[in-house]
């Protein structure tokens, strides 16, 4: 079990140690050793029509990529990619969620069951919780019973270290093969983190991990809502190529988690080697992915962190 409090990292009983090793490419990916002088930028993208329906049958020629405004050649392309998933599942266990925690954990258990039983046989999930501390309950695993045992006794208490949880989850994903995803379920904004918003955002970008932000809505009227927390979660999702949700616990949360899985199973994997980029002092490269059909929209992360030139 790992506990992360005030940016400290203590792990006992796990084989994983953070920070992790340098990422290795999965065997099923096209080899990148031929261009060792340039980093392969990998983008996970979903495409939707004007009604929000997923479109998964486009070809490489129907996509365009701009890196800091410069057109790029697509070197890697997979539709309905079968790259395995590593999902960091983050559950808020702060005091404010106490009355909804039992129902939320039931939804989480169904979500994990669907990931393990219906997807790629190499898909894995790791369970994190956060209140004033961040705790990693399992390593990345396909053992449903192991996650069930950790979810069942969860109790809600203390503050909310959301950004710490996102930072540590992102670091745990580095070096893992295939696709990386962070799913966070919370009912409010950050109150006790050592890391800040931009630390969490940069860590997610470096881990190539879209953040799917689920903001539980026990309060639907504006008075009493945590608008700041909502905006921060939604901004994290938009920047990393994830999605945002505002469900109540129960059926709406079940549906949100189901929608996430549907997105993940209809993703395109697009990769390119950056070239002809103008010199800049900024480490963050802005990326735009478009499709040729005007009735479709590609959703992916807003960029990546590279070296200033």
How many C-beta atoms lie closer than 10 Å to residue 76's C-beta?
A: 18
Could you read off the pLDDT of 265-291 as tens digits, one per residue?
999 999 999 999 988 888 899 999 999
Could you read off the pLDDT of 190-235 as tens digits, one per residue?
999 999 999 999 999 999 999 999 998 755 555 556 677 788 999 9
Could you read off the pLDDT of 106-142 as tens digits, one per residue?
999 999 999 999 888 999 999 999 999 999 999 999 9
Sign, CA torsion 134/87/154/16: negative
Residue that the structure tokens 């031929």 belong to: 34
Question: What tokens appear for 298 in the block?
Answer: 């590609």
Could you read off the pLDDT of 287-306 as tens digits, one per residue?
999 999 999 999 999 999 87
Distance between CA atoms of residues 149 and 66, nearest Å: 46
Question: What tokens appear for 218 in the block?
Answer: 């026990």
Residue that the structure tokens 């392969």 belong to: 40
Sign, CA torsion 191/196/197/200: negative
Q: Which residues pair with 4 in a beta bridge?
A: 134
CA 252 to chain centre: 20
CATH architecture label of 85-264: 3-Layer(aba) Sandwich (3.40)
Q: Give the per-residue pLDDT at 60.
A: 97
For the chain, the structural domain boundaries read 63-75+271-292, 85-264
Give 264's pLDDT tier (boundaries 50, 70, 90): very high
- SS3 of 162, please? helix
What are the angstrom distances between the C-alpha of 58 and each of 100, 189, 231?
41, 38, 32
- SS3 of 139, please? coil
- The DSSP result for 45-60, as a single string, is EEEEETTS-B-----G
Higher local confidence (pLDDT), 199 or 22: 199
Q: Give the per-residue pLDDT at 9.
A: 43
Could you read off the pLDDT of 145-172 as tens digits, one per residue?
899 888 877 888 889 999 999 999 999 9
* Mean pLDDT, residues 223-248 taken together: 85
């Amino acid at each position: 079990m790992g506990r992360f409090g005030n940016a400290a990292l203590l792990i006992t009983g796990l084989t994983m140690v953070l920070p992790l090793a340098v990422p290795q490419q999965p065997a099923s990916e096209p080899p990148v050793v031929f261009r060792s002088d340039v980093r392969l930028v990998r983008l996970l993208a979903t495409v939707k029509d004007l009604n929000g329906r997923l479109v998964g049958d486009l070809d490489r020629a129907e996509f365009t990529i701009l890196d800091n405004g410069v057109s790029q050649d697509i070197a890697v392309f997979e539709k309905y990619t079968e790259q395995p998933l590593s999902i960091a599942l983050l559950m808020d266990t702060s005091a404010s969620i106490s009355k909804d925690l039992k129902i939320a954990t039931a939804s989480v258990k169904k979500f994990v069951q669907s990931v393990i039983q219906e997807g790629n046989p190499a898909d894995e999930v790791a369970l994190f919780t956060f209140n004033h501390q961040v705790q990693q309950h399992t390593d990345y695993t396909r053992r449903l019973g192991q996650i069930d045992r950790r979810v069942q006794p969860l109790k809600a208490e203390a503050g909310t270290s959301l950004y710490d949880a996102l930072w540590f989850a992102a670091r745990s994903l580095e070096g893992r093969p295939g696709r990386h995803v962070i799913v966070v379920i919370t009912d409010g904004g950050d109150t006790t983190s050592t890391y800040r918003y931009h630390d969490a955002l940069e860590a997610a970008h470096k881990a190539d991990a879209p953040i799917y932000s689920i903001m539980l809505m026990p309060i639907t009227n504006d008075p009493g809502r945590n608008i700041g927390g909502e905006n921060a979660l939604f901004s994290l999702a938009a920047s990393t190529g994830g999605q945002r949700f505002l469900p109540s616990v129960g059926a709406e949360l079940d549906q949100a988690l189901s929608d996430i899985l549907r997105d993940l199973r209809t993703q395109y994997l697009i990769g390119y080697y950056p070239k002809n980029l103008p010199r800049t002092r900024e480490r963050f490269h802005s990326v735009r992915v478009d499709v040729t059909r005007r009735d479709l929209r590609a959703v992916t992360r807003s960029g990546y962190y590279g070296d200033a030139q």
